[in-house]
């Protein structure tokens, strides 16, 4: 056991050897002892600090409240920082601030007098801890923003992605509520397009205030972000003059906020505001992460929007390759279905058409162009419009299936380039309605044969011929077929028969005949039954669906 002498000698030696800075202050708040570690931490020589106020180690902004707090501690022995470790800034001798972990303990004396030491403080450099915490926080936010982007990849278009953006951001980044603003090209300002709150919360005053507000560049928090093109944080929304919805935020108990831009190149797509009910510091590292997230989300949304626009253009182009409606033919019911394939071509190569001929007959065409995409669409348009021109009153010869298909063949050969061969399969009919039914002249060029359904059951009709666009000497055999009352003629493309299930088994001509043998009813019911059976074949299949076109002509009883 140490004697009083040994303890008196050993204690200063132990304190001097500690790596942490130890400061002892008397009842007047003056430094009575400090070990040598203070020089490495704060740049002061220990002897230069003796007798000076503790405020010499504090930043200027913290000194005003120190006197009253220390006096209260001296009289009551109670203080917010006593008995725990707190992270605070300390002042270095050269004037910069150093983050420290501060631990305070009270020294008790039976009969305290002036000059007795009152408090001992242990100061430890917190820079490394803070750096690690910030690195962890940054990595957490980076991971969260990656999850945000990953979640948005499931959106089918930009509108859905914007709708899902706010809840995903709040959930992944731990904010309480969020608003989304987008530029309005008409007004030249930012308009509120959405608010998200936690599932157990109702949108409150801030949501109402946001809906009624518009922000121009530089105005309010969203407008400030728009101008700066960088994130802006507001620690106290109730007092910051740049936040123009302070009363609404106060009513909802929302204290802090941060907003960041979603950009695609030089274009601002949106401004996202995130709000917290706590006063939440936003370090510079987090602002950098949000800026990066805004660019990353913007690139994704910009691509989605571009893809959506391409799809809209493709749908418009596809509609131009099909009749807007089917005409009414006396004594014949018509129905058709078209479904694009599942590939990346966007525009399919299938088409069909029905048009009147000058002599009261009707031309019916169904065709399938090899391939998909813009080039196939051009060939499809050429096929359809050439067939129409060949059947028009200005044509030099009387239109029949062979003449129409030969005209299309010549046009395809003239248009052929050095690129891949774009051949076409087609089936052309000329219908002649009469009192006892309909007579059909059928010409087929490499296309699936039409299927006639009558009391004898479904059967193929016509004679196969070579596809169009391959050789000039095209021979088109034409077959005359009668369509009596109660019969149905079905024209289709190979997207029907080549549809495969997950095992690779095709729907085939047998599958089509089984559907038709079941008795489908009128033309509309027939095309509906065929397309439903094909969709069932493709359900959960690993194989890509091809374009599909079905045209049914039914002669009522």
Q: Which CATH number do you get for residue 23?
A: 3.30.450.20
83 and 185 housed in the same domain: no
Per-residue DSSP letter, 384: H
343 and 490 housed in the same domain: yes
Q: CA torsion, points 543, 545, 546, 550, in degrees to nearest 10?
A: 140
267 and 206 housed in the same domain: yes
Instruction: Compute the radius of gyration of the chain from its Cα atoms.
Output: 41
274 and 329 housed in the same domain: no
Residue 250 lies in a domain: yes
104 and 208 housed in the same domain: no
Of 270, 286, 313, the one marking the end of a domain is: 313
Domain total in the chain: 3
Of 283, 313, 343, the one marking the end of a domain is: 313
Q: Which residues contact 247 (CB under 8 A, 6 or more apart)?
A: 205, 209
Alpha carbon distance 295, 291 (integer Å): 6
Alpha carbon distance 307, 299 (integer Å): 12
Q: Which two tokens mark 404?
A: 């129409």
Q: Which CATH number do you get for residue 238?
A: 3.30.450.40
- Residue pair 433/329 in contact (Cβ under 8 Å)? The answer is yes
- Residue pair 456/481 in contact (Cβ under 8 Å)? The answer is no
* Parent domain of 211: 131-313
Residue 305 lies in a domain: yes
Neighbours of 505 (CB within 10 A): 13
β-bridge mates for residue 459, sequence order: 452
Residue 318 lies in a domain: no
Residue 319 lies in a domain: no
Q: CA torsion, points 155, 159, 162, 167, in degrees to nearest 10?
A: -70
Residue 191 lies in a domain: yes
Q: Which two tokens mark 236?
A: 């106290």
Residue 240 lies in a domain: yes
449 and 338 housed in the same domain: yes
DSSP states of 472-531: S-----EEEEEE-TT-EEEEE-HHHHT-B-TT--B-HHHHHHHHHHT---SHHHHHHHHH
Residue 101 lies in a domain: yes
Of 76, 103, 125, the one marking the end of a domain is: 125
219 and 262 housed in the same domain: yes
Residue 148 lies in a domain: yes
Q: Which CATH number do you get for residue 454?
A: 3.60.40.10
Query: What is the residue-level pLDDT of the chain in tens, covering all 557 positions?
Result: 444 434 444 556 667 777 889 999 888 888 989 999 999 999 999 999 999 999 899 998 888 777 777 877 777 766 676 777 888 899 999 999 999 888 888 776 555 555 566 788 899 988 877 777 776 666 776 677 677 667 667 766 666 766 777 777 777 778 888 899 999 988 889 999 888 887 777 888 999 999 999 999 999 999 999 999 999 999 999 999 989 999 999 999 999 999 999 998 888 999 999 999 988 888 787 788 888 888 878 887 777 777 666 666 666 666 767 888 899 998 899 999 998 876 544 566 788 999 999 888 999 999 998 876 667 778 888 888 899 888 876 655 567 899 999 999 999 998 877 666 678 999 999 999 887 779 999 999 999 999 999 888 899 999 999 999 999 989 999 999 999 999 999 999 999 999 999 999 999 999 999 999 887 779 999 999 999 999 999 998 988 888 889 999 999 98
């Amino acid at each position: 056991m140490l004697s009083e002498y040994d303890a008196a000698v050993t204690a200063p030696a132990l304190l001097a050897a500690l790596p942490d800075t130890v400061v002892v202050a008397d009842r007047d708040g003056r430094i009575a002892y400090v070990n040598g570690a203070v020089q490495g931490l704060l740049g002061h020589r220990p002897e230069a600090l003796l007798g000076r106020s503790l405020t010499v180690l504090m930043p200027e902004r913290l000194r005003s409240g120190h006197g009253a707090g220390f006096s209260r501690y001296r009289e009551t022995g109670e203080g917010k920082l006593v008995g725990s470790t707190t992270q605070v800034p300390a002042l270095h001798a050269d004037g910069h601030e150093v983050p420290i972990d501060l631990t305070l303990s009270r020294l008790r004396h039976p009969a305290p007098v002036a000059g007795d030491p009152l408090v001992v403080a242990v100061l430890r450099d917190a820079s490394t801890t803070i750096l690690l915490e910030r690195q962890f926080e940054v990595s957490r936010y980076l991971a969260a923003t990656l999850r945000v982007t990953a979640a948005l990849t499931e959106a089918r278009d930009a509108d859905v992605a914007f709708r899902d953006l706010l809840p995903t951001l709040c959930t992944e980044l731990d904010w309480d509520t969020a608003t989304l603003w987008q530029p309005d090209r008409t007004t030249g300002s930012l308009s509120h397009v959405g608010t998200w709150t936690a599932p157990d919360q109702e949108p409150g005053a801030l949501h109402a205030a946001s809906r009624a507000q518009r922000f121009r560049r530089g105005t309010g928090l969203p407008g400030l972000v728009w101008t700066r093109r960088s994130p802006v944080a507001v620690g106290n929304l109730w007092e910051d003059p740049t936040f123009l919805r302070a009363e609404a935020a106060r009513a909802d108990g929302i204290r802090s906020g941060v907003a960041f831009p979603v950009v695609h190149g030089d274009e601002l797509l949106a401004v996202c505001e995130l709000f917290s009910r706590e006063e939440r510091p936003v370090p510079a590292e987090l602002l950098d992460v949000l800026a990066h997230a805004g660019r990353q989300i913007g690139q994704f949304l910009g691509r989605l929007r571009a893809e959506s626009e391409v799809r809209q253009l493709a749908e418009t182009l596809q509609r131009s390759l099909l009749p807007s409606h089917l005409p009414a033919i006396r004594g014949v019911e018509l129905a058709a279905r078209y479904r694009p394939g599942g590939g990346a071509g966007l525009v399919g190569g299938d088409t069909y058409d029905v048009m009147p001929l000058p002599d009261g007959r009707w031309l019916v065409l169904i065709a399938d162009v090899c391939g998909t995409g813009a080039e196939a669409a051009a060939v499809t348009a050429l096929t359809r419009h050439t067939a129409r021109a060949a059947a028009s009153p200005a044509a030099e010869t009387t239109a029949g299936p062979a003449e129409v298909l030969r005209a299309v063949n010549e046009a395809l050969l003239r248009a052929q380039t050095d690129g891949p061969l774009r051949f076409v399969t087609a089936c052309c009919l000329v219908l002649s309605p009469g009192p006892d039914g309909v007579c059909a002249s059928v010409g087929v060029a490499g296309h699936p044969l039409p299927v006639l359904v009558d009391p004898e059951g479904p059967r193929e009709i016509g004679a196969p011929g070579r596809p169009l666009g391959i050789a000039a000497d095209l021979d088109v055999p034409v077959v005359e077929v009668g369509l009596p009352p109660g019969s149905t003629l079905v024209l289709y493309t190979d997207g029907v028969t080549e549809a495969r299930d997950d095992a690779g088994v095709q729907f085939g001509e047998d599958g089509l005949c089984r559907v038709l043998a079941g008795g489908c009813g009128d033309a509309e019911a027939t095309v509906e039954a065929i397309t439903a059976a094909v969709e069932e074949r493709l359900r959960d299949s690993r194989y890509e669906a091809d374009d599909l076109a079905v045209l049914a002509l039914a002669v009522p009883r």
